[in-house]
A and B are shown apart, each in its own frame.
Chain A
Amino acid sequence: GAVVSQHPSWVICKSGTSVKIECRSLDFQATTMFWYRQFPKQSLMLMATSNEGSKATYEQGVEKDKFLINHASLTLSTLTVTSAHPEDSSFYICSARYMNTGELFFGEGSRLTVL
């Protein structure tokens, strides 16, 4: 199946710093990618829809200035958590829709811990 790669898998940072997470579709082009956040024992919550070449669409309650999304190419979307705080510690997962079948493929996830 199609492959979506996320990097880094784990990141620990100090409060107040910014962290960038990359999401790449390795063997297909994705005009749309999605970013989710998952807290322990909770469901995946969609944060935003990343559209190649245009601004991301954020879900209600997600601060666009705090979670910067850039989808500069058909194979890469980035999520930057700016001025991270301990409450931003979570599991961040991206996904990309394979246009041919509509199936959603997920990245491996990035576990962020803010100290």
Chain B
Amino acid sequence: RKEVEQDPGPFNVPEGATVAFNCTYSNSASQSFFWYRQDCRKEPKLLMSVYSSGNEDGRFTAQLNRASQYISLLIRDSKLSDSATYLCVVKSNDYKLSFGAGTTVTVRA
């Protein structure tokens, strides 16, 4: 079983729509969780950290469910510029980072 699993998508949504997707992780001892954004043929960039109580950054909302071992990302009022691959990143207690394969989101006009 992969350490971090994501639905690859693609999620094709119209502008203004809400899109949400999850990421599951296998190591129950994982400490920290992040969402990174990766544009085609570019390096990943930190979108947001995910906190236990859930957190929001503008149109983006991240949630953590430790019991079920998943994190989620919700994008409200989608913009064309939100089109990208979203990587779920999990840090274990030995500071090892594990990456999901990414979820592709395409926002259409």
Show the binding face of A for B, using Cβ within 8 Å: 6, 34, 36, 41-46, 91, 93, 103-104, 106-109, 111
13 A–B contact pairs at CB < 8 A? A36-B99, A41-B8, A42-B101, A43-B4, A44-B99, A46-B97, A104-B46, A104-B97, A106-B43, A106-B44, A108-B42, A109-B41, A109-B42
Specify the main secondary structure of chain B where it touches its partner. Answer: loop
Specify the main secondary structure of chain A where it touches its partner. Answer: strand
B9 CB, min distance to chain A CBs, angstroms: 11
Partner of A43, one of B41, B45, B100: B100
A110 CB, min distance to chain B CBs, angstroms: 10
Contact A108 B102 (CB under 8 A): no
Give the docked Cα–Cα distance between A109 and B46 (Å): 15
Total contacting residues, chain B, CB less than 8 A: 15
B97 CB, min distance to chain A CBs, angstroms: 7
- When C-beta atoms are compared, the residue in chain A nearest to B8 turns out to be A41
Known contacts A91-B41, A109-B41, A111-B41: does B46 contact A43 (CB below 8 Å)?
no
B41 CB, min distance to chain A CBs, angstroms: 7
Contact A107 B46 (CB under 8 A): no
With a CB–CB cut-off of 8 A, which chain B residues contact A108? Answer: 42-43
Query: Per-residue 0/1 for B83-109: is the Cβ within 8 Å of any A Cβ (1 yes, 0 no)?
Result: 000010000000011011110000000
Contact B43 A93 (CB under 8 A): yes
List which B29-65 residues lie within 8 A (CB) of chain A: 41-46
With a CB–CB cut-off of 8 A, which chain A residues contact B99? Answer: 36, 43-45
Give the docked Cα–Cα distance between A46 and B98 (Å): 8
With a CB–CB cut-off of 8 A, which chain B residues contact A109? Answer: 41-43
- When C-beta atoms are compared, the residue in chain A nearest to B44 turns out to be A106
With a CB–CB cut-off of 8 A, which chain B residues contact A103? Answer: 46
Contact A106 B41 (CB under 8 A): no
Further contacts, 5 of them, CB under 8 A, given A34-B97, A42-B101, A106-B44: A6-B43, A41-B101, A93-B44, A103-B46, A111-B41
